[in-house]
Amino acid sequence: AQSVTQLGSHVSVSEGALVLLRCNYSSSVPPYLFWYVQYPNQGLQLLLKYTTGATLVKGINGFEAEFKKSETSFHLTKPSAHMSDAAEYFCAVSVPGSARQLTFGSGTQLTVLP
Amino acid sequence: EPEVTQTPSHQVTQMGQEVILRCVPISNHLYFYWYRQILGQKVEFLVSFYNNEISEKSEIFDDQFSVERPDGSNFTLKIRSTKLEDSAMYFCASSVVTGGRNTIYFGEGSWLTVV
């Protein structure tokens, strides 16, 4: 079975600073990996995904993530934080063939300080 | 951009009552899902549905829960005899596989409060 670990349930950065949200996964087969964002009182919005091919994937709102198989990681980064980035971020893994369901990490709450 | 839509956005129900949460998946999608998120906890998979039948379900999805696609457009989650611990945000999602790749799109959620 697959699993996801997000290190740090809360991350605070200053506006304009680098955002780094950590995600490590466990899977017995090559996984698909996703980052979702949840703004207060809203649903889950897909930020970006990795399935196959290029290991550095770019998403919406200037976010990107790099799949590192050797480290079983899929960390989310953004060079310069904006106040509007404050939200909860979820890393998720899907194993091809497993009825295509997602397993989520516990989430990281990002706070952006002025 | 196509969206998954859910109704109601918020429902309060008494313990023991039945609740039906409704979802309209994206029109060309073939896979449908329900997830839930108890306040302060991670998003948990409940069930996936394909070709008019359940394809996978988690241990959370017991006999209290059922899903149905009654009319080709709606996808419903029924919770019989609700319990206090069923209070959560319930997310519907749908997906379609293109080029061997599957991306799941979520609705805004239905917040269920059991009192």
pLDDT for the residue A44: 87
> Could you tell me the two tokens for B26?
């994206």
Give A37's contacts (C-beta < 8 A, 6+ positions apart): A44, A45, A47, A87, A88, A89, A90
Max intra-chain CA distance, chain B: 46
> Could you tell me the two tokens for B29?
């999608």
Q: Which residue has the higher pLDDT, B18 or A28?
A: B18
Q: What is the pLDDT of residues B62-89, one digit of tens each?
A: 999 999 998 878 999 999 999 999 999 9
Per the CB < 8 Å rule, is B45 touching A101?
yes
Question: Mean pLDDT across chain B, nearest whole number?
Answer: 91
Report the DSSP beta bridge partners of residue B15. none
Q: How far apart are CA B101 and CA B21, in angstroms?
A: 28
Cis check: omega of the bond before A30, within 30 degrees of 0:
no
Task: Taking residues A75-82, report their average pLDDT.
Answer: 97
Nearest by CB: A43 against B48, B55, B91: B91
* Chain A contact set for B56 (CB, 8 A): 98-99, 101
Shortest Cα–Cα distance, B101 to chain A (Å): 7
Report the DSSP beta bridge partners of residue A57. A65
Per the CB < 8 Å rule, is A98 touching B56?
yes
Can you say whether the dihedral through the CA atoms of A86, A108, B36, B2 is positive or negative? Answer: positive
pLDDT for the residue A43: 80
Q: How far apart are CA B54 and CA B37, in angstroms?
A: 20
Per the CB < 8 Å rule, is B50 touching A99?
yes
pLDDT for the residue B1: 67
pLDDT for the residue A53: 85
Q: What is the pLDDT of residues B43-53, one digit of tens each?
A: 899 999 998 99
**Per-residue confidence band for B100, with pLDDT thresholds at 50, 70 and 90:** low
pLDDT at A72 over 70: yes
Question: Mean pLDDT across chain A, nearest whole number?
Answer: 90
pLDDT at A99 over 80: no
**Which stretches of chain B sit within 8 Å of chain A by CB?**
6, 31, 33, 35, 41-45, 48, 50, 55-56, 91, 93, 95, 97, 100-109
Q: What is the pLDDT of residues A18-50, one digit of tens each?
A: 999 999 999 888 888 999 999 887 788 889 989
Per the CB < 8 Å rule, is B31 touching A100?
yes
The chain B residue lying nearest A53, using CA atoms, is B101
Length reported for chain B: 115
Q: How far apart are CA A19 and CA A11, in angstroms?
A: 9
**Which stretches of chain A sit within 8 Å of chain B by CB?**
32, 34, 36, 42-46, 49, 51-52, 90, 92, 94, 96, 98-107
Highest mean pLDDT among B7-11, B26-30, B37-41: B7-11
Task: Taking residues A6-16, report their average pLDDT.
Answer: 95
**Per-residue confidence band for A97, with pLDDT thresholds at 50, 70 and 90:** low
Cβ atoms of residues A110 and A88 within 8 Å: yes
Give B63's contacts (C-beta < 8 A, 6+ positions apart): none
